[in-house]
Structure 1
């Protein structure tokens, strides 16, 4: 009986070894196929090289984005001082003249600094005045039309 038990045990072990060898062979084939995908074929670029290229491109894009953010921040700073608020009020400076040929023009930045240009049209001539504006006010006296055009430019009046 010992010989029969040994024979059966040997057969079972042999079958188990065959199954393990078959499983190892399948795993090896799968690994080899995956390795070939990573390494690429003859003239094609490898997967690793392709990923490395994409990582480099992403790094360059990150640098570009950082530079663009700096440019945008500088533009926002510069834009704060730019003339962005403009308004015009046309009116008749004299009761006997029609056509609203007189006007006041406000050119202001975000802080309300800038100037007011006023042109007063009369029958024989037109006079033009510039008045400086700081924080929405002027050191010189302003006419009602000039006050209104400043308020319009600042969005305080419609």
Structure 2
């Protein structure tokens, strides 16, 4: 036994010392936590007896319920505003006249969440540029729409997967 203490005694003392230091650090941290909890409890119950504590909790729960109602109302307002913001955009470029090179004319559909908005059309020719705006309500217009304008609305509403497929009907009808 003496040989064991002679060989390993130093290491056992170091290990025991480190263990004691670790336990003291842990106790210090637990003491800080307990002190913080005690301070919160004292602040909560300061000047309040047990009878009034229930009233305070009830008042806090009513405040939370009121805030919850306010958050729900704000969420409804955000959703309402979101429906009226710009959701769908479709752009079709085309060449309406054979004598003008390039697809410099376009039809641009700008629609909200309720598929209402405007279709802007710009027709480019050698003599100038003409721009038109036509109202759209729920994906339909009271004005007569060109094939390109219809294609831009369809593209905005996701009925076409790419610009080329949306422009395809417009290109065939735009040259006649």
Summarize deviations over 1:3-23 as a string: whole Å, max 9, x none. xxxxxxxxxxxxxxxxxxxxx
Q: What is the RMSD of the two structures over their aligned residues, measured on CA atoms? A: 3.1
Match of residue 46 from structure 1: 42
Q: Matched residues in 2 for 1:44 and 1:138: separation?
A: 64
Q: Does 1 or 2 have the higher relative contact order (CA < 8 Å, sep 6+)?
A: 2
Q: Which of 96, 114, 132 is equivalent to 1:111?
A: 114
- For residues 108 and 74 of structure 1, the distance between their equivalents in structure 2, rounded to whole angstroms, comes to 20
- Partner residue, 1:147: 150
SS in 2 for 1:139: coil
Find the counterpart in structure 2 of residue 86 from structure 1. 89
Residue correspondences, number: 117
Once residues 44 and 145 of structure 1 are traced to their aligned partners in structure 2, the CA distance between those partners, rounded to angstroms, is: 68
The 3 A distance-change label for structure 1 pair 78 and 44 is closer
- For residues 122 and 95 of structure 1, the distance between their equivalents in structure 2, rounded to whole angstroms, comes to 10
Cα distance per residue 1:38-72 (max 9 Å; x no partner): xx98x88528628x6x9576654443333112101
How much does 1:118 deviate? 0.1
Q: How high is the TM-score relative to the length of structure 2? A: 0.55
Q: CA deviation at 1:149?
A: 0.4
Q: Which has the larger radius of gyration?
A: 1
1:104-154 deviations in Å (ceiling 9; x for gaps)? 111112222211110001112000111111221222221111000001111
Distance 1:137 1:45, change over 3 A: closer
**TM-score, normalised with respect to structure 1:** 0.60
Unpaired runs of 5+ residues, structure 1, are: 1-36
More helix by share: 2
SS of match in other structure, 1:78: helix
